[in-house]
Amino acid sequence: MRLLVGDIGGTKTALGVADTDGEHVDLSGLRRYPSASFATFDQIVQHYLNETGFSCRFAAFAVAGPVQDRRSETTNLPWALDADALEHSFDFAGVELLNDLEAVAWGIAVLEKQDLAEIHPGDALNQGNACVVAAGTGLGQAGLFWDGFYHHAFATEGGHSDFAPVDDLEFALLTHLKRRYGRVSWERLVSGPGIANIYEFLLLRHGASQPAWIRKAIEEGGDTAAAVAQAAVDGRCSLCAEAMDLFMRFYGREAGNVALKHMALGGVYLGGGIALKNLALLRKGSFLEGFFDKGRMGSLMRRMPVRVILQPHTPLFGAARFTTSQ
Q: What is the CATH number of the domain that holds 118?
A: 3.40.367.20
53 annotated as a binding-site residue: no
pLDDT at 220: 83
Amino acid, res. 5? V
Q: Write the CATH number for 42.
A: 3.30.420.40
In 3-state terms, what secondary structure has residue 210?
coil
187 shares a domain with 238: yes
Please tell me whether residues 119 and 89 are part of one structural domain: no
Q: What is the pLDDT of residue 21?
A: 84
Instruction: Answer yes or no: do 207 and 280 share one domain.
Output: yes
* pTM, to two decimals: 0.93
User: Are 289 and 188 within one domain?
Assistant: yes
102 and 46, same structural domain? yes
Is residue 165 domain-shared with residue 295, that is, in the same domain?
yes
User: Do 258 and 177 belong to one domain?
Assistant: yes
Q: 10 labelled as ligand-binding?
A: yes
What are the DSSP calls for 236-258, one per residue? --HHHHHHHHHHHHHHHHHHHHH
Is 119 found in the same domain as 56? no
Given a cut of 50, the residues of the chain with pLDDT beneath it are none
- Residue 222's pLDDT is what? 78
The 3 state secondary structure assigned to 192-209 is HHHHHHHHHHHHHHHCCC
Does the annotation place 11 within a ligand binding site? yes
Q: Is 162 annotated as a binding residue?
A: no
Regarding whether 317 and 301 lie in a shared domain, the answer is no
Q: Are 103 and 62 in contact (CB under 8 A)?
A: yes
Residues 88 and 192 reside in one and the same domain: no
Q: How many domains does the structure of the chain reveal?
A: 2
pLDDT digits (tens, 9 = 90+) for 47-83: 999 999 999 999 999 998 899 999 998 877 889 999 9
pLDDT at residue 34, as a whole number: 93
Query: Do 140 and 288 reside in the same domain of the chain?
Result: yes
Q: Which run of H or of E encompasses 154?
A: strand 151-155
Residues 21 and 127 in one domain: no
Domain that holds residue 122: 114-310
The reported pLDDT for the residue numbered 145 is 97
Question: Any known ligand binding at 140?
Answer: no
The response to whether 7 counts as a known ligand-binding position is: yes
